[in-house]
Amino acid sequence: MNKLVTTLLSLLFIAHCSFGGQSGFWNETTKIKKEKETIIKELFKKEEPHEKEMNTNLKINLNAKLIKNSFINNFDNNNGRIEYDGNLKNISKYKFSKISQFDYYQPELLVTNKNTLIFFDEKGTILNFSNNDKLIWKSNIYSKIEKKQKPILYFASNEKNLIVADSIAKYYSININNGNLNWSKNNSAPFNSQVKIFKDKFFVIDFENILRCFSVKDGREIWNIKTEKSFIKSQQKLSFIINNNRLVFINTLGDLSSVDIETGKLIWQTPTQSSAIYENYFSLKNSDLIAENNNIYFSNNQNEFFAIDEKNGVVKWKQNLNSNLRPTFVDGLIFTVTLEGYLAVIDSRNGNILRMTSIMKQIKKFNKKNTKPVGFILANDKVFLSLNNGRLVVAEILNGNVLDVIKIDNEKISRPYILNNHMFIVRDNAIIKLN
């Protein structure tokens, strides 16, 4: 009898806890869950981007010193205001075999400290030529099978070496003077990032979101740091900056990490996207990071532009701008171009948008609906913006007015590069030189 009573009392207690309207345990669990969901939504809420003109009458006058050859050994990725007064009247091309995956991987032209330019063709042949169109050397280390895989190459160089990392998991060193192979090694995963050389080390990120540090001398791995893996293997080229003996990099999930350049020890990490939210998107595309005044600036195609403290990873401000183009910092101002073709000028101190000018609205020669910006630079008093339909737009920094639209090609072209007062643009089968 006692057992029966005990059993009945137990059942009544369980029923009361599980189904009662005043149940403390289950109601509290539900409440906590709702609070967590609310917090996530607040942190990673996707707000509508600024996509309208504002303060179009505001004049932007820059006083910063013009920078010559800003693409050489650029550890902070900020090109600044480049010295260039070319007239863009003459166009010449250096052609090579077509790179079929050019649109996806966003390969970059390397400007070396020897005043030469380095790129590659579909079979992984490296081309090194001077800015007066002379081919200095070409080199290809790949087997027939590897050539069929059509490797995409990423570069960095110093006085003696060209370091190469590719999309088929190889990395190697070439003599910068003659193109001869120094050493070659294989990684466990393909690479998809910038390459940077710092003293006797070089750095690159692979498809597993692992930042790897190698020896320039022999390719030996010195350290690596793993970040969260993503189920989505983004093809975008990842970016990082080097400053104050720290390396700050971003992975395919939007996680920003700072590490000690000597040891690889993590200093801080700041997520800029919810992993749960991000996995629902087909592709998160971040811009290249840039660093200036101890801050890191970048944007993504999820309507977010960040300013992050380089010392501790704290988000100083966030603005609603839809862009994945490398921004530029000049005179305390940040310049970027949105995916809808608005030239935005931002106050770096607080993130306030000072001016928005629609470049695309001023262009009437082609279908603007399918036309997107690819990349831009500031040079002298102008903005040079490349588009995915092969056009180069020239606009004034002062007021954002379009001065000219130059047809470079009929297909996607890279952002502009400048070396010794010559402008270079890359497309899928040629290096294009202007003037």
**CATH number where 220 lies:** 2.130.10.10
Question: 375 and 415 in contact (C-beta within 8 Å)?
Answer: yes
What whole-number distance in Å separates Cα of residue 362 and Cα of residue 353? 20
Amino acid 229: pLDDT: 60
Q: Is residue 175 part of a domain?
A: yes
Domain membership flag for residue 47: no
Q: What is the 3-state secondary structure of 12-64?
A: HHHHHHHHCCCCHHHHHHHHHHHHHHHHHHHHCCCCCCCCCCECCCCCCCCCC
C-alpha to C-alpha distance for 230 and 246, rounded to whole angstroms:
25
Return the pLDDT at 35: 37
Q: For residue 325, give its domain range.
A: 53-434
Other C-beta atoms lying within 10 Å of the C-beta of residue 353: 18
In a domain, 10, yes or no: no
Nearest 5°: the CA angle 391, 397, 399 is 105
370: helix, coil or strand?
A: coil
Please report whether residue 87 resides in a domain: yes
Amino acid identity of residue 113, one-letter, is: N
Residue 274's pLDDT is 59
Cα(81)–Cα(381) distance, rounded to whole angstroms?
8
- How would you classify residue 420: left for phi > 0, otherwise alpha for psi between -120 and 50, otherwise beta? left
Count: domains in the chain: 1
Residue 20 maps to a domain:
no
Q: Which pLDDT score is estimated for 375?
A: 95
Mean pLDDT of successive 10-residue stretches along the chain, which has 435 residues: 49 43 35 39 58 92 92 94 90 90 86 94 95 90 97 96 97 97 97 95 94 98 84 71 94 90 95 60 79 94 92 95 94 96 96 95 77 95 95 96 92 92 93 90
The answer to whether residue 46 sits within a structural domain is no
Token readout for 197 is 């050389």
Domain annotation covers residue 26 = no
- Cβ proximity of 225 and 253 under 8 Å: no
User: CA separation (Å) from 41 to 50, 256, 274, 279?
Assistant: 20, 20, 9, 15
In a domain, 21, yes or no: no
